[in-house]
Amino acid sequence: MSIVVVENLVKVFEGFPALRGVSFAVEEGEVFGLIGPNGAGKTTTFRILATLLLPTSGRVEICGLDVVRRAAEVRRLVSYLPEEAGTYRNLTGYEYLKMMAEVYFGSGREAEEALELGLKLAGLGDRVYDKMKTYSRGMKRRIQVARALMVRPRVAVLDEPTTGLDVIHSNAIRRVIREYARKWGVTVLLSSHNMSEVEGVCDRIAVIHRGRILACGTPDELREEHGGVSLEEVLIKLVGEGA
């Protein structure tokens, strides 16, 4: 069952076509990667899915709901992590996750369960009780990923979840995403410039360039179809041909 359906999506900014007829579908429980060079249209696509941008034309549905006509309902199903998500410097990680749980669920049992899951996903141990202004970039990102996933959305949209992180923090976040998707059956869409990350986490991948989808399939299918030893080689080949 396709839980996310994108058909002929177009977005124009002041005469510039950022998206030129993007189409893809994502199955329930799938981890789906959107990869491409800077400016390819990844973030624009994700912001439309998250109801933060209106499309110029085309159709986008999440769980059968149109993201324009039924945006309020879609927002209750989707959790979005932007590439440059900020943190509250003078809150502790615990206080931040507790606050976000209560924003979603009030002060009842659901909020307590979300907080418990968020603390587990963040994996910061006793440092979760320190103020976030003392956190490294990796620790802040782990808190933000935990915030996006702890509410158990039907669809989690993660824009560059490991951007700028070292190997240790990147690996920890990849593991959290993969294990979370498997355990809870949540559908995850993510973008990344790290091809090994994409191969290790994603079930299927779409390559986007200049606002168009150039290819879509599993990592193995893309390598076989486009003659690349690695996914990075496939991306370079496709982007070169699509220039």
The whole-number pLDDT of residue 25 equals 97
Only one residue has tokens 């168009």, namely 212
DSSP codes of every residue in 52-69: SS--SEEEEEETTEETTT
Q: What mean pLDDT is predicted for residues 68-82?
A: 96
pLDDT class for 56, splitting at 50, 70, 90?
A: very high
The whole-number pLDDT of residue 242 equals 58
The whole-number pLDDT of residue 226 equals 87
The whole-number pLDDT of residue 167 equals 86
Mean pLDDT of the chain: 92
The answer to whether 14 and 59 have CB atoms below 8 angstroms apart is no
How many other CB atoms sit within 10 Å of the CB of residue 87?
A: 18
- In tens, the pLDDT along 101-119 reads 999 999 899 999 999 999 9
Does pLDDT of 228 surpass 80? Answer: no
- Rounded to an integer, what distance in angstroms lies between the CA atom of residue 130 and that of residue 95? 10
Does pLDDT of 243 surpass 60? Answer: no
pTM: 0.92
The whole-number pLDDT of residue 107 equals 86
- In tens, the pLDDT along 128-143 reads 999 999 999 889 999 9
Please, what's the b/e burial string for 144-178 (b: 16 or more CB within 10 A of its CB; e: otherwise)? Answer: bbbbbbbbbbbbbbbbbbbeebeeebbebbbebbe
- Rounded to the nearest 10°, the torsion over CA 30, 31, 32, 34 is 170
- Rounded to an integer, what distance in angstroms lies between the CA atom of residue 49 and that of residue 158? 11
